[in-house]
Structure 1
Amino acid sequence: MLSLTSRSIRAGLVVLGVIACIALSSPSANATEAADAESRNKRIVTEAFERWAAGGTRFFDELLATDVVWTIEGSSPSAGTFEGRDLFIDRAVRPFASRLSSPVRPVTTQVWADGEHVIVNWDGEGMARDDVPYRNSYAWILRMRDGQAVEVTAFLDLAPYDSVLERIPAPRAGGQDQ
């Protein structure tokens, strides 16, 4: 006759617990979870670029975490690290955008994802207020968390970017040129 003792029940529960832990931490479960996060991150970034290219104006507000750390690589005065979305927008985005008559828009993009990282290689075009076209190529590496970029490393040709900042005076507070 089969008799279950509390000892054999406990042993059976331990075995079931070990099997459950192995199943939950199996490479296939982790690989599926990582692939899902990777796919989600790529989709979030791709869709944000599509909205921007179509005329959207909230790209940075939508995609960047408030505590993002944005680094512009290079050796010009425009290079540097900006801690926080508001600081980045105030010190890098607005001074540049205020010198344009039409904003920079992505015209081509390629997006790759690897886990929490999304890499975007894109070409942008806009028009400076002096009617000189602005064109540049960018490579951004974004580290994503909860659907937003928490860290960005940006590579671009800083010569055309700096040229716009140097050639065109910043508008005065009342909208008048200096």
Structure 2
Amino acid sequence: MSTTSIHADTTHANRQRLQNIMAELDKGNGKPFVEAMADDFCWTIPGGTPWSRTYRGKQAVISELLQPLYAQFATPYISTTRSIMADGDKVAVEFDGKVTTKTGKAYNNRYCYIFRMEGGQMKELMEYLDTALVMAALEAPSSPALAA
């Protein structure tokens, strides 16, 4: 099998994997997303927000990012995938997310996730989003307002 053929097969498999995961997320099912994270998964949010940093390890992503984030939501999170592009082990996913926070703020953001896949699992994620909206709509992860 040629290198070109292997690259094309990897590209197709990774695109299909993320397409299936995002289709489930668009239905409100986040379980396949979490299950696809490698144990050493790294999720990076660039910028200067209280949420901006690299979360290292699947458990840290869940406990330090996803749980505190979803604790702020008053309504179900709705995602709508716009496009998916893949090249080898890299997959880019553009999607919209809509939710209302417990403080009554609309948090309707557009995202571009750049994944690095390995063996069918998500190894790395770089998340691009509107950081000004993060600052306007979300409380800091350790905010006392979340405990109320």
Q: Tell me if both proteins adopt one fold, taking TM over 0.5 as the criterion.
A: yes
Q: How much has 1:157 moved relative to structure 2?
A: 1.2
List runs of 5+ in structure 1 lacking aligned partners.
1-23, 172-176
Secondary structure, counterpart of 1:77 in structure 2:
coil
1:165 pairs with 2:111: no
Secondary structure, counterpart of 1:55 in structure 2:
coil
1:69 pairs with 2:45: no
Q: How much has 1:59 moved relative to structure 2?
A: 4.1
Identity of paired residues, percent?
26
User: Higher RCO, 1 or 2 (CA under 8 Å, sep at least 6)?
Assistant: 2
* Structure ID, larger Rg: 1
Secondary structure, counterpart of 2:96 in structure 1:
strand
In structure 1, distance between residues paired with 2:127 and 2:9? 25
Q: How much has 1:161 moved relative to structure 2?
A: 2.4
Question: Greater share of helix residues, 1 or 2?
Answer: 1
1:146 pairs with 2:123: no
Counterpart of 1:6 in structure 2 is none
In structure 1, distance between residues paired with 2:124 and 2:107? 26
Q: Which portions of structure 1, spanning 4 or more consecutive aligned residues, are displaced by more than 4 angstroms?
A: none
TM-score, normalization by structure 2: 0.89
Q: How much has 1:95 moved relative to structure 2?
A: 0.9
Q: How big is each residue's C-alpha offset from its partner over 1:47-104, in whole Å with a ceiling of 9 and x where there is no partner?
A: 1011011120314422211111111111222111111011012111111110101232
Counterpart of 2:88 in structure 1 is 115
CA shift in 2, pair 1:127/1:165, >3 Å: same
Query: May I ask how many residue pairs the two structures share in their alignment?
Result: 145
In structure 2, distance between residues paired with 1:30 and 1:89? 36
Conserved in 2, the CA contact under 8 Å of 1:116 and 1:143? yes
In structure 2, distance between residues paired with 1:34 and 1:86? 31
Aligned-pair RMSD on alpha carbons? 1.8
Secondary structure, counterpart of 2:30 in structure 1:
coil
Counterpart of 1:82 in structure 2 is 55
Conserved in 2, the CA contact under 8 Å of 1:48 and 1:62? no
TM-score, normalization by structure 1: 0.75
In structure 1, distance between residues paired with 2:85 and 2:121? 16
List runs of 5+ in structure 2 lacking aligned partners.
none
Conserved in 1, the CA contact under 8 Å of 2:78 and 2:98? yes
Counterpart of 2:3 in structure 1 is 30
Secondary structure, counterpart of 1:90 in structure 2:
helix
